Amino acid sequence: MNSQISMNRRSFLKFSGFLTTGFVLGISSDISASESQTTNFSPNLFLNITKEKTIEIICHRSEMGQGTRTAIVSLVAEELEVSLEQVTIIQAKGDKKYGDQNTDGSRSIRYNWDRLRKLGASAKQMFIVAASQYFSCKESELYCDNAIVYFSLKSKKVSYFDLLDLVALVKVPKDVKLKGDKDFKILGKSQLLKDVPDMISGKTIYGMDVEVEGMLYASLLRCPSPHGTLVSFDASLSKKQKGVISVFEIKTVKQPINVDASICVIANSTYACFKATKEIKAKWNYKSHQKISTDSFREDLEKALKNPSKTYVDKGKKSKKIVKNTLVRKYFTPFQAHAPMEPLVAVADVKSDSCIIWAPTQDPQRLRKSVAAVLKISIDSVEVNVTFLGGGFGRKSQPDFGIEAVLASQKMKKPVKLVWQREDDIRHCFYHTSALQEISVNLDDEGLPVSWHHKSVFPTIMTVFIAGSSTPASWEIGMGASNLPYDIEQIKVSTSKIANPLKIGWKRAVCNIFHSFAINCFMDELASQSKIDPFDYRLKLLDKTKTIAEYENKRLIEVIKQLRSFSEWDKKVKLNKKIGFACHGSFSSYVASTVEVEGDSLDNLKIKNIHIVIDLGYFVNPDTVKAQMEGSAIFAMSLALYGKIDLEEGAVVQSNFHDFMMVRHNESPNIYVDIINSKQSPGGCGEPGVPAVVPAIINAIYKATGVRHLELPLKA
């Protein structure tokens, strides 16, 4: 795997601004000339220009389909004045020196927009200085393009590669000027993704494709409940099977690693493992959870909703307006699995005091830390190689599958590739949580709310880190509920304690999904009760001067207005088209969506057109933004129509794509995307599309069928 970056290379532009929003160039100005001779040019961790005429740029974020590899190197390439064709992408190993590598929260561009452009600009400036010496001219007489410095006055030029000896002597600039967006050649313009040719010819190495010499294969039979332990097992039949080498217990690893109790089969092929796991007779103990079912959990939610124990927002006073009406609605959303196309997998090679691991991980630093903790070795002795991810959606930010491979390799004293079966993936997920919400409002004579009470109850993600956590955290409620954008005199947002029957994790857009679902469906019902167009209804409630928890209402308003014309809303309403609308701000981006359906019942329903408008501030690759919105729309359709995880006797019922269903080719609608070029700080892209589309679907279905669906999914 070509993901080496040599640590002994001179690195004279030290970068120390990793975890701050600002950028700090630590300059080692005392580096002597002798140190720099005959080396490649690697002025910082992210860039290496070689004598072999390659320009290598590090991508420290994990690629799971969001186009981050091309995007990350675009930031450096733009300011460095090299073309994307000239760049080789090097995938970073897990190491804190790169700064945050946790590829979640739609942060890759948000956190690196300034930082990586500055790195590119610094390096370019150094080539300008080197070239001014080369031509004996002023720096101001030079410009760069495609890795060449031009001295236009004399019609002369020199390539970066021919300046490597000179540039090695140049000091790192203290401050650099970044390009204005008018001068961008790469950023803001659609680019071909660099990884596509390999992906479609079978050359891309996903976690599932890693081969290490002498490796054994492993697969696990897991306890049906994450809360159980192994009592006993009989693997005599499995052991007789050809290819099976060993069968042993893997014990639970507690928070924050969260490995379930299991029995591990080691064999000489993946399939031999799969087959052998089916022949093990195991006795598990999870008595404390065996009474839990979908129905019993629903009862727990109902009870919790009646008894709010924590209030996160309580602002404004009781309105003096006369209350003309009230409305109360309750919304339910089930547990969901991520189900990325590539099942979980990792290859680990544990030695006596070190470990190398290859994994499709979203969070290589967390995995590295977890491996060090489990093996009780120093973090420097753990090497985490990040492969391509066959989808992630939040599931692959957990270290559990990597740790299982480590434990298997430790036991076998050989490299082990541990492969999850799809059934394991569906049944042993860190699920998107299941929520019950209630919104109640008092309405004035115009039908606008003067009070708003939103109760949102769900098992909290905090259980990943702290066993027994039972109250949703403020950041979970802050994903769509406590940052309600609407101007209402009295707002209360509360939650309650509830025990967690499963493992909970974050899934693409997280709590924004169910909060946006409830709020947008509720707003749609309020609007239609008041006989006000749902666009107008929202606009009446949005004070354009207000900013709520970093979200500027004026940007949301622009997105809504743009969608209204982009989707031809008014024309379609006049034509009595079955069209629904929703809007939601999340991950520092603003999204609005309309969905148009045909049919008059759930049985003959067809989603025909989806329009999405997004304002995500500055963006790297508009084609990638569109792709993410298209993907979000399909993801949202699967959530609305099919996705759910049920519980029976403490265990998950669903197991594979026949009962955990998702949208397929024949249901794919026309998806139209428009991007507002607001030139604000970059927002997220991978996640914010999902929350707006789900309720837009439900609101369209109301138009078609007259039924207000308050529970998801619709078809399962």
Partner 1 sequence: MISFILNNKKVSVDVESDTPLLWVLRDELKLKGTKFGCGKGLCGACTIHLNGSPIRSCVFPISAVENQSITTLEGILDDENYQKLQKQWIKKNVPQCGYCQPGQLMTATALLKSNNNPSKSEIQSAMAGNICRCGTYQRIQEAILDAAKKGEKNE
Nearest Cα residue to 394 out of 66, 622, 42: 66
Which residues, in sequence order, are CB contacts of 298 under 8 Å at separation 6+? 332, 436
Radius of gyration of the chain (CA): 27
Rounded Cα distance between 187 and 195, Å, is: 18
Q: Which of 291, 574, 658, 679 binds partner 1 (CB under 8 A)?
A: 658
597 touches partner 1 (CB under 8 A): no
Beta bridge partners of residue 418, listed in sequence order: 218, 346
The closest alpha carbon to 91, from 370, 371, 361, belongs to 361
Residue 101 Cβ vs partner 1, minimum distance, rounded to whole Å: 18
Of the pair 132, 385, the CB lying nearest partner 1 is at 385
Only segment of 107-115, 249-257, 384-392, 549-557 that touches partner 1 (CB under 8 A): 384-392
CB distance 405 to 215 below 8 Å: no
One-letter amino acid at 381 equals S
The residue with tokens 């332990």 is: 229
Question: Is residue 653 within the footprint of partner 1 (CB under 8 A)?
Answer: no
Q: Which range of residues in 177-185, 419-427, 458-466, 571-579 is near partner 1 by CB under 8 A?
A: 419-427
Q: Is 341 in the site for partner 1 (CB under 8 A)?
A: yes
- Distance, first Cα to last Cα, the chain: 43
Nearer to partner 1, 38 or 201 (CB): 201
Q: Which of 5, 389, 645, 696 binds partner 1 (CB under 8 A)?
A: 389
Q: Are the beta carbons of 78 and 179 closer than 8 angstroms?
A: yes
At 429 the three-state DSSP class reads coil
What are the residues whose beta carbons fall under 8 Å from the beta carbon of 20, sequence distance 6 or more?
A: none
- Is residue 74 a contact residue for partner 1 (CB under 8 A)? no
Q: Which two tokens stand for residue 607?
A: 């989603």
Task: Give the Cβ contact number of residue 38 at 10 Å.
Answer: 8
Among 37, 154, 657, 707, the residue binding partner 1 under the rule CB under 8 A is 657
367 is a site residue for partner 1 (CB under 8 A): no
Least distance in Å: CB of 519 to partner 1?
A: 24
Q: How many residues bind partner 1 (CB under 8 A)?
A: 65
Closest CB 42 distance from partner 1, rounded Å: 29
Q: Kind of pairing, strands 382-386 and 355-359? A: parallel
| Closest distance to partner 1 from the beta carbon of 9 (Å) | 31
209: amino acid identity, one letter: D
Choice from 50, 86, 668, 705 touching partner 1 (CB under 8 A): 668
Q: Which stretch binds partner 1 (CB under 8 A): 63-71, 116-124, 322-330, 457-465?
A: 63-71
Cβ proximity to partner 1, 13 vs 685, nearer residue: 685
Do the beta carbons of residue 359 and residue 386 sit within 8 Å? yes
Binding pattern for the stretch 274-303 against partner 1, x by CB under 8 A and - elsewhere: xx----------------------------
Beta-sheet strands, E only, within 444-499 = 449-457, 490-495
The 254-273 site mask, x for binding partner 1 (CB under 8 A), equals: ---------------xxxx-
Segment near partner 1 (CB under 8 A); pick from 202-210, 376-384, 676-684, 705-713: 202-210
Nearest distance in Å: CB 631, partner 1: 4
Q: Does 339 bind partner 1 (CB under 8 A)?
A: yes
CB atoms within 10 A of CB 177: 10
Among residues 4, 8, 32, 202, the one that binds partner 1 under rule CB under 8 A: 202
Angle, alpha carbons 191-195-199 (nearest 5°): 130
Residue whose structure tokens are 């992408």: 89
Query: Rule CB under 8 A: is residue 23 a binding residue for partner 1?
Result: no
Residue 713, phi then psi, degrees to nearest 5: -85, 170
Separation in Å, CA 418 to CA 171, 203, 211, 262, 441: 48, 21, 12, 13, 52
Q: Do residues 257 and 367 touch, judged by C-beta distance below 8 A?
A: no
Tell me the C-alpha distance between 371 and 377, whole Å. 8
Of 112-120, 178-186, 197-205, 696-704, the segment contacting partner 1 by CB under 8 A is: 197-205
Q: Which helix (H) or strand (E) holds 453?
A: strand 449-457
Q: Is-contact 255 214, C-beta < 8 A? A: no
Among 201, 352, 576, 604, contact with partner 1 (rule: CB under 8 A): 201
Which of 442, 624, 654, 699 is close enough to bind partner 1 by CB under 8 A?
624
Which residues in the 213-242 window bind partner 1 by CB under 8 A?
A: 217, 242
Separation of alpha carbons 167 and 33, rounded Å: 11
Of 162, 195, 444, 533, which one interacts with partner 1 (CB under 8 A)? 195
Return the ∠ at Cα 468 (arms to 467 and 471), rounded to 5°.
120
Question: Which of 89, 419, 511, 518 contacts partner 1 by CB under 8 A?
Answer: 419
Asked if residue 598 binds partner 1 (CB under 8 A), the reply is no
Question: CB 266 → partner 1: shortest distance, Å?
Answer: 14
Least distance to partner 1 from the beta carbon of 272, Å? Answer: 8
Indicate the residue among 162 and 598 with the shorter CB distance to partner 1: 598
Q: Are strands 262-267 and 244-250 parallel, antiparallel or unpaired?
A: antiparallel
Q: Of residues 145, 197, 529, 649, which one binds partner 1 by CB under 8 A?
A: 197
Closer residue to partner 1, CB minimum distance, 19 or 200: 200
Residues 666 and 625: their CA atoms lie apart, in Å, by 24
- Residue 134 interacts with partner 1 (CB under 8 A): yes or no: no
32 binds partner 1 (CB under 8 A): no
The candidate with the shortest Cα–Cα distance to 626, out of 612, 640, 636, is 612
Q: Which of 441, 663, 694, 698 touches partner 1 by CB under 8 A?
A: 663
Choice from 114, 141, 165, 209 touching partner 1 (CB under 8 A): 209
User: Cβ closer to partner 1: 337 or 518?
Assistant: 337
Structure tokens at 329: 């609605």
Query: What does the binding site for partner 1 look like in residue numbers (CB under 8 A)?
Result: 63-67, 192-193, 195-197, 199-206, 208-209, 211, 217, 242-243, 269-272, 274-275, 339-343, 388-393, 419, 421-422, 623-624, 627, 630-635, 656-658, 662-666, 668-671
